[in-house]
Amino acid sequence: MTTKKITNLNDKSRRPHFLSVDVEDYFMVEAFSAVVDRRDWDNWESRVVSNTQTTLDLLDRYHATATFFFVGWVAKKFPRLVREVQTRGHELACHSYWHRTVYSLSPDEFRADTREAVGAIEDAGGVKVRGYRAPSWSITKNCLWALDVLAEEGFAYDSSIYPIRHDLYGLPNAKRFPYEHMCRNGRLLDEIPPASINILGQTLPGAGGGYLRIFPLSYTRWVFKIFEEDYEESVVVYFHPWELDPNQPRIRGALKSRLRHYTNLGRMSSRLECLLADYSFRPLGAAFPPKETDCQRRVDYKEGNKQ
Ligand SMILES: [Zn+2]
């Protein structure tokens, strides 16, 4: 007799998944960086506070908690928002200061940017930041040194390596489920990748951002089913507060950028509500406590893990 797991979509007592929010304003995204100068950010209409509060209210309705990866510039300008996120039960983490891709920076520039961001977030929130997510998933094979810097700066985990092929980011051979880096300095750093699935030898993005908006909800539900029943792993979901704001000002960027940024903004809220109703979520840091640094496990980027 064969046994089969029974999945009840209304049973939130199943494996908890991970929820993460990259807190940035709509004009900070890499897609529009060619037409929006960072030195002009102060001159744009900011909507990040109201959009993040909309996000907090949404999560409250479903008793979900998340990791909020703050852009340091946002934390510096809106410290009360950082404090509100923290006091409403969520984890604070770092999403750089200037939202520049890591592969465009030198190690020294990356370290300085990260320190500035952590300072702003910790000053505002009053708690230690343990997690990092690079802007635009920009820790790639050309800048893996960034992991050593993060470990040296005291981070416990990173969530920046997308194990897919993409024109702007990705490390196709990276592991697809949480693992440990043994950094050059002997320190350990947990890596928590965004969800992906492997179909016929192709790795496809799972549940986040534009993929959550553009792919049908049935696809996302299928990803959750595969994670729960086949992989027995938790899905790492991510999105941005600006994705809940269909009325945001339109920026005249390249056609591909506009398609990626604006498609289905009006559907994002209801799609998230469907996921929040059916699955339970927690912050990334909740599952990855600090650990000893003498583990001998190593990561080989030429080999994936469970594919
Ligand atoms: Zn971002």
Q: Domain holding 131: CATH number? A: 3.20.20.370
Residue 61 within any structural domain of the chain: yes
Q: For the chain, how many structural domains are there in total?
A: 1
**Contact yes or no for 159/133 (Cβ under 8 A):** yes
Three-class secondary structure of residue 68 per DSSP: strand
Neighbours of ion ligand 1 (CB under 5 A): 22, 24, 135
CA of 239 to the centre of ligand 1 (A): 9
Residue 301 within any structural domain of the chain: no
Crossing angle of helices 265-278/48-61, nearest 10°?
Answer: 30
Beta partners for residue 69, in sequence order: 22, 93
| Residue 255 domain boundaries | 17-34+45-287
CA of 261 to the centre of ligand 1 (A): 12
Residue 135 within any structural domain of the chain: yes
CA of 301 to the centre of ligand 1 (A): 24
CA of 73 to the centre of ligand 1 (A): 12
CA of 298 to the centre of ligand 1 (A): 28
Q: How many CB atoms lie within 10 A of CB 86?
A: 17
Residue 295 within any structural domain of the chain: no
Tens-binned pLDDT, residue by residue, of the chain (307 aa): 333 333 444 566 578 999 999 999 999 998 888 899 999 999 999 999 999 999 999 999 999 999 999 999 999 999 999 999 999 999 999 999 999 999 999 999 999 999 999 999 999 999 999 999 999 999 999 999 999 999 999 999 999 999 888 777 778 888 999 999 998 888 999 999 999 999 888 888 888 888 888 899 999 999 999 999 999 999 999 999 999 999 999 988 888 888 888 888 889 999 999 999 999 999 999 887 665 543 333 333 333 444 3
Name which of 91, 166, 173 is nearest 136 in CA terms. 166
Q: Which tokens hold the place of 267? A: 């559907």
pLDDT of residue 290: 63
Q: Which tokens hold the place of 37? A: 């100068």
What is the gyration radius of the CA atoms in the chain, in angstroms? 18
Residue 154 within any structural domain of the chain: yes
Residue 182 within any structural domain of the chain: yes
CA of 226 to the centre of ligand 1 (A): 27
CA of 220 to the centre of ligand 1 (A): 21
CA of 111 to the centre of ligand 1 (A): 18
Residue 300 within any structural domain of the chain: no
CA of 61 to the centre of ligand 1 (A): 25
CA 50/CA 44 separation, integer angstroms: 15
Residue 7 within any structural domain of the chain: no
CA distances from 144 to 73, 190, 284, 306 (A): 24, 14, 21, 22
- For 228-237, how does the pLDDT look when each residue is reduced to its tens digit (9 = 90+)? 999 999 999 9
- For 51-91, how does the pLDDT look when each residue is reduced to its tens digit (9 = 90+)? 999 999 999 999 999 999 999 999 999 999 999 999 999 99
Please name the residue that has the structure tokens 């030198």.
Answer: 106
